């Protein structure tokens, strides 16, 4: 008979990295601006954030959050289903639905809960989810909670998806195809036209996780559907507020009947405390800033294109990224940890992605860029990458 906690005592993976001085996680941030942070008393350029539009420090956004605290206090102290539903939650849902071109929207406490809640309540015993193999962990957890079947299809492979559905579609009542709009590690954009074609052919519904697409792709950052001109062909859009919207929370948007069903069936929504007032006001003001200051999208893409071009020209493999998420291939776990530590010591904050999160040989440094990065920030990052790339034998 084994002690339940024996696995905890024997877990050494993180301790080995800590002892070697290479542990890259849980760095305490002492202060931050739009593009830099202070950690361990040193100012560093942040290229490991999802703050794509840099709105976390926008004066209008900060002022809106403060006003919401003055009006509603610091928290809702209950679920929206019971005592935590604010008029601002409902107004945000109306505004988001209009922004996304959908009939209705439902706001959750986090993006993780939005995926868990929607997927777990929509998929019954006779149904199935077809999920891209590189979908985010929150989608994976949602599929685990769903009582129907889950079939994972090869990443962004429409031929394989079509073949699976040709073989298996008749076995199920309903089928939901689920994919990220932008894949968070590679920066790759999903083949949405291909998904739409396959979904239509096999009478499936289509669910797109736009966590890393909103604020990045499409007109005024409206996401993957807008980017491809296929808004109406996407049945459900999921998104988060912890990236371009500078806050915390998530949502599901779609037709009114489906959103009404999720609202009354999704346990992660019904039994989680509501988004706090300041978080709601932050998202609302971000929507206004995105409308009033379209130049932030131009600046984001200017920075992203520059970094993609110049990192590639230095000789780094950026894995064909199409977005402000630009991976730098390292190819080895320990080298990725060591490279990340060297970046940190040179004043650049980035994050490693190692196996088993990626296949062996595909270990990388995940870099991402913001509208608020200055030319000086990016010059410095490139200088550091050039120096360390040569030192580590990654570039000539």
Q: Is the overall model pTM greater than 0.75, yes or no? A: yes
Start-end of H helices in 175-314:
192-201, 224-228, 256-265, 267-270, 277-292, 295-314
Which of the four CATH numbers 1.10.357.10, 3.40.640.10, 3.40.1360.10, 2.40.30.20 does domain 59-292 have? 3.40.640.10
CA pseudo-torsion sign 223, 224, 229, 232: negative
Provide the token pair at 143: 């599929």
- Residue range 162-181: average pLDDT? 98
Residue 219's H or E segment, with its range, is: none
- Residue range 314-339: average pLDDT? 96
- Residue range 154-161: average pLDDT? 98
- Look at residue 119 and tell me whether its pLDDT is greater than 90: yes
- Portions of the chain given CATH number 3.90.1150.10: 7-46+294-391
Confidence of residue 1 (pLDDT cuts 50, 70, 90): confident
Q: Are strands 128-132 and 149-153 parallel, antiparallel or unpaired?
A: parallel
Which of the four CATH numbers 1.20.1060.10, 3.90.1150.10, 3.50.30.10, 3.40.630.10 does domain 7-46+294-391 have? 3.90.1150.10
Catalytic amino acids? 184, 212, 243
Q: Provide the CB-side half-sphere exposure for 372 (13 A, CA).
A: 21
Percent of the chain with pLDDT over 70: 100
Residue 125, helix vs strand vs coil: coil
- Portions of the chain given CATH number 3.40.640.10: 59-292
187, with CB counted inside 10 A (0-12, 13-18, 19+), is: buried
Longest CA–CA separation in the chain, Å: 64
Residue-wise pLDDT tens digits, 261-307: 999 999 999 999 999 999 999 999 999 999 999 999 999 999 999 99
Confidence of residue 396 (pLDDT cuts 50, 70, 90): confident
């Amino acid at each position: 008979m084994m002690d339940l906690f024996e696995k905890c005592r024997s877990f050494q993976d993180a301790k080995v990295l800590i002892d070697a001085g290479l542990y890259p996680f849980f760095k305490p941030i002492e202060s931050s601006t739009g593009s830099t942070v202070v950690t361990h008393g040193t100012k560093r350029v942040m290229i490991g954030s999802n703050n794509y539009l840099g709105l976390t420090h926008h004066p209008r956004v900060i002022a809106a959050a403060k006003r919401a605290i003055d009006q509603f206090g610091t928290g809702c102290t209950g679920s929206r289903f019971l005592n935590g539903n604010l008029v601002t939650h409902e107004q945000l849902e109306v505004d988001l639905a209009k922004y996304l071109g959908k009939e209705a929207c439902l706001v959750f406490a986090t993006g993780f809960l939005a995926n868990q809640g929607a997927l777990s309540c929509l998929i019954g015993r006779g149904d199935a989810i077809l999920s891209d193999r590189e979908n985010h962990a929150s989608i994976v957890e949602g599929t685990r909670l769903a009582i129907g079947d889950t079939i994972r299809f090869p990443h962004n492979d429409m031929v394989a998806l079509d073949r699976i559905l040709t073989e298996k579609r008749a076995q199920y009542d309903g089928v939901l195809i689920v994919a990220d709009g932008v894949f968070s590690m590679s920066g790759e954009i999903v083949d949405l036209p291909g998904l739409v074609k396959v979904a239509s052919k096999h009478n499936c519904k289509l669910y797109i996780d736009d966590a890393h697409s909103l604020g990045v792709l499409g007109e005024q950052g409206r996401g993957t559907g807008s980017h491809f001109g296929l808004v109406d062909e996407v049945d459900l859009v999921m998104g988060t507020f912890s990236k371009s919207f500078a806050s915390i929370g998530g949502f599901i948007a779609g037709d009114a009947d489906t959103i009404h069903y999720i609202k009354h069936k999704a346990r992660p929504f019904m039994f989680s405390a509501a988004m706090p007032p300041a978080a709601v006001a932050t998202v609302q003001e971000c929507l206004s800033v995105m409308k009033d200051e379209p130049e932030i999208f131009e600046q984001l893409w200017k920075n992203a294109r520059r970094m993609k071009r110049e990192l590639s020209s230095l000789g780094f493999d950026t894995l064909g990224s199409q977005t402000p998420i630009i991976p730098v291939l390292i190819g080895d776990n320990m080298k990725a940890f060591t490279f990340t530590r060297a970046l940190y010591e040179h004043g650049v904050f980035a994050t490693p992605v190692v196996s088993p999160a990626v296949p062996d040989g595909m270990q990388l440094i995940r870099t991402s860029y913001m509208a608020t990065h200055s030319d000086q920030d990016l010059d410095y990052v490139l200088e550091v990458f050039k120096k360390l790339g040569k030192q580590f034998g990654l570039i000539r």
